[in-house]
Structure 1
Amino acid sequence: MPAIVGAIKVNNVSSSGVFLVGDAFRVAPFSDAKTFAGAGSFNTGDYLNVRSDRSATNVNDSDVFDQNMTATL
């Protein structure tokens, strides 16, 4: 069944993003990332007061592969 789409404005499509207009059988973007962050890393807002005097981020990863990605097309 066809889709009827009005006006579209795209500001940004990231490298692992998908921009689709209309019908699709399958949309399967592939991306993976590993993020290490310490205490108070993702705080957002105005007038923050974050204290993390004794904080350490352990970035040792002994298993090397966490979530292996395979192509399922």
Structure 2
Amino acid sequence: MPAMVGAVKVINIGSSSVFHIGDVYKIQPYTQAKTFAGGGSFNTGDGIRVHLENAQTTMVDNDEFDQNLTGI
């Protein structure tokens, strides 16, 4: 069934977002990310105490591509 849409104002769309108005068969946003974090990272909450005497995050990544996105 066709969509009836009035005025639309788009302020901002992220790099891997989808903006859609009306009928659609398939929406397939894509993104990829790689995160490296050391000990005590990504902690959330109140009153967290992390004591790391000598912490190091060692990253060795010999390949050029980790996850190839094809057909996009």
Task: Describe the superposition over 1:24-57 as per-residue Cα deviations: whole angstroms up to 9, x where unpaired.
Answer: 3111112111111111111111111012223221
Whether 2:60 is the aligned partner of 1:63: answer: no
Aligned length: 68
Point out where structure 2 has 5 or more consecutive residues left out of the alignment: 4-11
Q: Distance in 2 between matches of 1:44 and 1:2?
A: 45
Q: Look up the match of 1:43.
A: 43
Point out where structure 1 has 5 or more consecutive residues left out of the alignment: 4-11
Runs ≥4 residues deviating over 6 A: none
Of structures 1 and 2, the larger Rg is shown by 2
RMSD of aligned C-alpha atoms? 2.8
Opposite residue 44 of structure 1, the aligned amino acid is T
Whether 2:30 is the aligned partner of 1:30: answer: yes
Q: Distance in 1 between matches of 2:54 and 2:35?
A: 20
Instruction: Give the alignment's TM-score, normalised by structure 1.
Output: 0.64
Percent identity over paired residues: 52
Whether 2:33 is the aligned partner of 1:14: answer: no
